[in-house]
Structure 1
Amino acid sequence: MSIDLIKSRAAQHWPRVFIGLISLWGLYGGISALWLGVQLNRPLQGNHKGLAFTVFGDSGLGPEEEDRMIKISLITVGVISTLVNGIGLYASVRKSIWATKTSLVFWIIQIGWLILATILFIIAVLSMSDKDREQLPKLSARQWFSAFFDIAFSFLHGWALLVFLRDLKQRPRNAWGRLVRTGGVFEYEPIAQLQI
């Protein structure tokens, strides 16, 4: 197999493979969270103040109420994550247009929520006094890098969904996913007819 053929195959199939891998990883995380939430049938052993108390400080709730909140949160996140990533995996394996569109809608909702939460957090921080602001924990360089990587990865996921949806509709594109017009002059040559 020649290098050119490998590059051509990679250019054609990278969106589908990327969506499948990230959906598979997310499905594993969702099922793990769901399983952990289901297993919490009693207050956490050796946790007299509740897990939420030890992590976030005094919430004003008792240990059982806090542990119940954790159980409900894990189950809720697990169900949503399993559903969303299951649809993404189905879209990748079955090459389904409706599943790809649904995954793209979920991605838009997720990104919109993250942007809104970030804006609200910035507003809250700016409204604090200097004394309260100084008490906020400082992020390390590793944490900043991890946050930047997560953001970049999320946008790459959205781009892969959009490109894969175009592929399913047989719209011509180049190797990077940008749409092309037949007979035009482009920075990158359009890839061969997609074998989706």
Structure 2
Amino acid sequence: MGSEDESIEQKSAARKEALRALRAAKELSESKEEGEGDDSAAVEQDGPAMKFRNYVPQAKELQDSKVVPPELPKFEDPIAAIPPAVEKKEVGPAMKFRNYVPQAKELQDSKVVPPELPKFEDPIAAIPPAVEKKEDPFVNIAPKKPNWDLRRDVQKKLDKLERRTQKAMYKLMEEHEKERETVEADENAIES
């Protein structure tokens, strides 16, 4: 614990010393500025003169070194050069209001009228639906077979068994076909 306290105290002392040095440097620079009467000589001694083109400096002694931009030529408006007898066309993109009606009265003239869509004739709707025979529900009342729930529970196993049966029948047919071909080949060999 003692070493941590000492390191914290050392860091604190170093910070205080740095702040004192900054404060002294600031006071020294302020005293130089107040003490010297000729700013231009100080600027020449320190280095090249500073030019402030983009902003006005806050320090009073630096405001004199602001560069005044050269006089720009006068801008002539090309629209103003058009004689008044000729109509002025809109400059820029023309606004078209398709989705809403603007509230300003001068903009309501540029509202686009929505196009009329042709009537859609549904070919399926033209064909009348087939009339179904309505049967009396009491005529066809028949109870389910007593084993319907057993059949439902065993259906997956039956499907699997059916697939296996089909495969076995196919293999038997292939074997039978091979036997027939070998018998025919033997008969042809005997006859030749």
Higher-RCO chain (CA-CA 8 Å, sequence separation at least 6): 1
Which is higher, the Rg of structure 1 or of structure 2? 2
- TM superposition score category, shorter chain reference: under 0.3
TM-score (norm 2): 0.21
